[in-house]
Amino acid sequence: MYPIKKFYTPREVSEKLIKMNYALVRVSGGESTICKKHLFKLINSIPENKLFILETKGLLLNKDYIKELSNFKNTYVRVSLKGVDEKIFEQITGADDEIFKNQLNALELLKKYRIKSRAAILVD
């Protein structure tokens, strides 16, 4: 049996991160874009003088999601590409190779909506 984990509110998370007094705050792992409302509350609670880095596979970042994300001017998105093409993506993730296009589409939309971003590529 797994121990019960505590759920932290966006405010609790941001307060802990801000107390660490770093110039930037980064959220990654476990696909950080799954709980959009929670994520946006967290970003909103980070002071604008701190850079908020969102690390994601980009699979859920569609036009509507990115359009909303563009409202946060202190946000930088790092899209972790799983492979350099559809075939490698499928080998690494076990997911259908067509999903790889979602990552590329997310990068194009981030650029279109002028959200600072970059791709990080996992080769194998």
Answer yes or no: is 1 within a domain.
no
**What's the confidence (pLDDT) of residue 10?**
81
Q: Which domain holds residue 67?
A: 10-122
pLDDT at 95 over 90: no
Rounded to two decimals, the pTM is 0.83
Q: Do the domain assignments include residue 44?
A: yes
Is 113 a domain residue?
Answer: yes
Task: Judge whether 81 lies within some domain.
Answer: yes
CATH number for 21:
3.20.20.70
Q: In this model, does residue 13 exceed pLDDT 90?
A: no
Whether 102 and 75 have beta carbons less than 8 Å apart is answered as: no
Q: At what angle do helices 86-93 and 100-112 cross, to 10 degrees?
A: 110
| Predicted local distance difference test score (pLDDT) of residue 64 | 96
Collapsing DSSP to helix, strand or coil, 78 comes out as strand
Residue 3 falls inside a structural domain: no
Q: Is residue 21 part of a domain?
A: yes
Is residue 4 a part of any domain in this protein?
no
Number of domains in the chain: 1
Would residue 73 count as lying in a domain? Answer: yes
Question: 103 near 59, Cβ under 8 Å?
Answer: yes
The C-alpha angle with vertex 53 and arms to 73 and 67, in degrees rounded to 5, equals 45
